[in-house]
Every structure is written in structure tokens, then in C-alpha cells.
Amino acid sequence: MKHDNVIGLLDVFTADLSLDRFHDFYLVMPFMGTDLGKLMKMERLSEDRVQYLVYQMLRGLKDLKPGNLAINEECELKILDFGLARQADSEMTGYVVTRWYRAPEVILSWMHYTQTVDIWSVGCIMAEMLLGKPLFKGNDHLDQLMEIMKITGTPTKEFTAKLQSEDARHYITKLPKLRKKDLRTLLPNVNPQAIHVLDSMLLLDPESRITAAEGLALPFFSEFREPEEETEAPPYDHSLDEAEQSVEQWKKLTFTEILTFHPSPAVAESKETAL
């Protein structure tokens, strides 16, 4: 998996010389220094850093929470953990990701999930960077939903009719009617272009949210854009993962992968220098 904004494997090696002695192996990855969650606790981020970090999230987008995002001293960001990221039609439950960054459709399992669950997470993280605290801080999954609707407003009848879960439809129709809040009142000193990004991401209807590609094209990120470098990674091949393998078969496959792995040029050069 090779992407500038996804943590990469620089090298993998083992000291064991044969398969029957194979017990340990070592993964070499870039040193990043800290994660976004820790950084936000240490300091309030400037708007230009928020721009650059959110731009990088969109480039390497998967389901996110701040602790999954590593940052080095140059403010370069890499995604460490894919969380819910998988085939869009795979089952996702309301208890898998950190609650405060969870898309509303995941909380109630109310409709088919698309990749815009990830866009919701980016919007939550971006708002937290600008606000200095989590935007939606629910105590449980229903309280989380209410915290969301205090800002987004309760769903329209048209959207409620699209919900696949009858229980979800019934629950939504019983809620008190709440009007959508203007994010400018919550973030009065924030660049209007940043507010537009949040308004495009934090929508209850996942079909109405922007995609990662659409997000990258918004004016807020224009100074960082390099469209020719915003290539999409090829789909991950799940065939081996889905095949039933014994522990011994996995061991053999892993050992073979280690022996045939080609390290990055920088690592290969440092090995030659050491020798």
C-alpha cells in the first residue's frame, strides 16, 4: 500500500533462517513523532495548519479519529489505522469506532453505508481543530445522536423515508423538532471557506455529503492542491484474506513475503552503507 498520507512499510525482516525456526519478524515504518489527538491537547492549531492537515486527510481518506493520524515535525500526516475502512457494503456496527467521530448512519445502523461515513469523521476532526474541543460529545450512542441533531437539526420527512430500519424511522419521528444551527455562530472567527467545508461534510444525509475528491477541490484547500499527485490507490486485494488458511499456511505465506519484500530505496541504501 503506497500513498503519501498512509503509513507505509519501509522494510520487514527476520533473524530466523528457515521456516521451521521462524517465530519473529520486524516491521520498519516511518517515524512520525506524535498523533493529532495529542497535538490538539498540547496546542491550538492555526488555520493554515488545519488547512494542510485536513487536505492530507482527504488525500488519504479512510475512516478516522484523531488518534489514528500521525504527524511529524514538518506537519506531514499519515493515517495509521483504517478503523471502519473496508468494502462499502461490508457490515459496520455502531460500536466499532470512537463515538464522537461516528457518522449518524452508523450510530443507528439506519441505512446502507457509503464512503461518506469517512467524510463525516473528517468534518468532526476539522471542527475540533478549529473549536479546540470535540463538536459532538455524546455519553452514549443515543445521546451522541441528539448532540449531532442539536447542530444539524432533525431529519426531514424526505430523508426519514429513506431509512431502511423501521425502528430508526420510528425513533426519528418521535424526536423533538430541532432547527439546523448556523456553524458561523459556533465558530465566529473562522474563515467562511472553512465553514463551507464543514457545512458540506456534516450533513445527516450521507448521499448529500461531498466526496473526498469534491472536498479536495474546495477553495479552502487551493493553496495546497497538486491534482496530479492526488491519485487513487488501486483497490486492496482481499482474496488472500478471505481464503481459509491454517496457522502453518499463514506462517509459510508470511515467511515467503518477508524473503521477497523489496525495501524502499532509502532503506536499501542505508543497509548497503551499514555493510
Whether the per-residue pLDDT at 142 is higher than 90: the answer is no
User: What confidence tier does 95 reach under pLDDT thresholds 50, 70, 90?
Assistant: very low
Residue 233 confidence (pLDDT): 60
Per DSSP, helices labelled H in 60-115 are 104-107
pTM: predicted TM-score of the whole model, two decimal places = 0.74
Whether the per-residue pLDDT at 82 is higher than 60: the answer is no
**Average pLDDT of 11-17?**
91
Backbone φ, ψ for residue 115 (5° rounding) = -70, -5
Domain boundaries along the sequence of the chain: 34-231
Burial status of residue 162 (CB atoms within 10 A of its CB: 0-12, 13-18, 19 or more): middle
Between 112 and 204, whose confidence is greater?
A: 204
Whether the per-residue pLDDT at 83 is higher than 60: the answer is no
d(CA 25, CA 19): 12
Whether the per-residue pLDDT at 97 is higher than 50: the answer is no
The listed CATH number (1.10.510.10, 3.40.50.300, 1.10.1740.110, 1.10.3720.10) that belongs to domain 34-231:
1.10.510.10
Whether the per-residue pLDDT at 192 is higher than 80: the answer is yes
Whether the per-residue pLDDT at 104 is higher than 60: the answer is yes
Residue 188 confidence (pLDDT): 92
d(CA 267, CA 262): 10
pLDDT per position as a tens digit, 207-226: 899 988 899 999 999 888 87
**Average pLDDT of 3-12?**
83
Task: Please give the positions annotated as active site.
Answer: 63
Whether the per-residue pLDDT at 91 is higher than 50: the answer is no
Burial status of residue 220 (CB atoms within 10 A of its CB: 0-12, 13-18, 19 or more): buried
Backbone φ, ψ for residue 188 (5° rounding) = -65, -25
Q: Which residue has the cell 475540533?
A: 128
Asked if 64 and 101 count as a contact pair (C-beta separation under 8 A), the reply is yes
- CA-nearest of 2, 72, 46, 56 to 225 is 56
Whether the per-residue pLDDT at 62 is higher than 90: the answer is no
pLDDT per position as a tens digit, 239-273: 777 778 888 999 999 999 999 998 877 666 666 55
Residue 90 confidence (pLDDT): 41
